[in-house]
Amino acid sequence: MDCTGQNPPLGNHTALVEFILIGFSDLPNLQGLLFGVFLILYIIILMGNSLIIMITKVDPSLQTPMYFFLGNFSLLEICYVSVTVPRLLTDLCRQYGNISFLTCAIQMYFFLVLGDTECFILTAMAYDRYVAICNPLLYPVIMNSRFCIQLVLVCWTTAIPIHIGFTSVLFTSPFCECNQLNHFFCDVPPVVQLVCGDTFMLELLTYVISSLAVAVPFMLILVSYVNIISTILKLPSATGRAKAFSTCSSHLMVVILFFGSGIIVYLRPKSSQLIGMDKYLSLFYAILIPVFNPIIYCLRNKDVMVALGKCLQKWIVL
């Protein structure tokens, strides 16, 4: 079937029952290698984030708001990658990328909800660091356990109604005869490309939601860090400045990686030069960055490393 990536006139549409995920079928000689690589990365993500969840729960020194948010973020990462990677591994193994219309919609919905939730959790973590550094005396009062739980619940639930509406609008649109998605999962850009007729309103809706869920949180995080850095630079002690920077550096690195790749895919201007590249760009925020997150938070965080050392000692003794 001819799939040019262009949107035919509205009259040339049909009722689709399934999509074909092209994935990495353009690399037939690397299917086995890709399966092994993605499987190893998935195991690293599961083990690394599970380890962070465990030590933030059992170590008394990590019973603080910062690590409460980190534990939630790690749980979110496990859910986030589990929406796409198991399906990718299955397709690579069987070399058969058919996915039903309903399954595609469900996968996109959960991917978008969990992705937006990551943006919100990262924003909450930035606010936590802002209060801790800029208002240290009020920190225990502001970031009390009740407020932290409420903040996390808001982060986990805000995107749910938004993307029920968005996925409903997208998947009730008329699709053309071409059902090939040049991607390894049901992401927004490749699905929109298969909609018949003028897709301006769908693209506008995508930009609006992406701006609210990605660009606005990113700007709030930047504002928080402008104030954080300004406060840190005013500290009289070099040791104090170094300690303050160390508590923020891990979070800031994750923010730059995650938001940077997401903005490139969802908020960049539409360009024919990048058609077909979305799936490779998506590898960064869908798989690679979740691999880096537990590594960054463990290796660059002394408290986590100390807690991890204690756990290892207990296991060795047992």
Average pLDDT of span 129-147: 94
Residues contacting 91, CB < 8 A, separation 6+: 21, 23, 97, 184
Taking alpha carbons only, the member of 110, 104, 102 closest to residue 183 is 104
Beta pairing partners, 99: 19
Average pLDDT of span 134-140: 93
Among the residue ranges 109-118, 248-257, 275-284, the one predicted with the least confidence is: 275-284
Distance CA 59, CA 119 (A): 26
pLDDT at 128: 95
pLDDT at 247: 73
Distance CA 159, CA 145 (A): 23
pLDDT at 317: 60
Q: Which CATH superfamily is domain 16-317 in?
A: Rhodopsin 7-helix transmembrane proteins (1.20.1070.10)
Are 230 and 43 in contact, with CB atoms under 8 Å apart? Answer: no
pLDDT confidence tier of residue 258, bands split at 50, 70 and 90? confident
Distance CA 232, CA 166 (A): 41
Residues contacting 95, CB < 8 A, separation 6+: 25, 31
List the structure tokens of 138. Answer: 């009020």
Residues contacting 20, CB < 8 A, separation 6+: 97, 98, 99, 179, 180, 181
pLDDT at 235: 83
User: Domain locations in the chain?
Assistant: 16-317
Distance CA 137, CA 298 (A): 27
Q: Is the backbone of residue 159 left (phi > 0), alpha (psi -120 to 50) or beta?
A: alpha
Average pLDDT of span 263-276: 64
Cα-Cα-Cα-Cα torsion 227, 232, 236, 242, nearest 10 degrees, comes to: 180
Q: Is the pLDDT assigned to residue 4 strictly greater than 70?
A: no
- Given CA atoms 208, 211, 217, 220 in this order, what sign does their dihedral have? negative
* Residue 310 or 78, more confident: 78
Each residue's pLDDT tens digit, 204-228? 999 999 888 988 999 999 999 999 9
Average pLDDT over all residues of the chain: 86
Q: Is the pLDDT assigned to residue 2 strictly greater than 50?
A: no
Extract the runs of DSSP E, i.e. beta strands, from the chain: 13-14, 18-21, 98-100, 175-176, 180-181
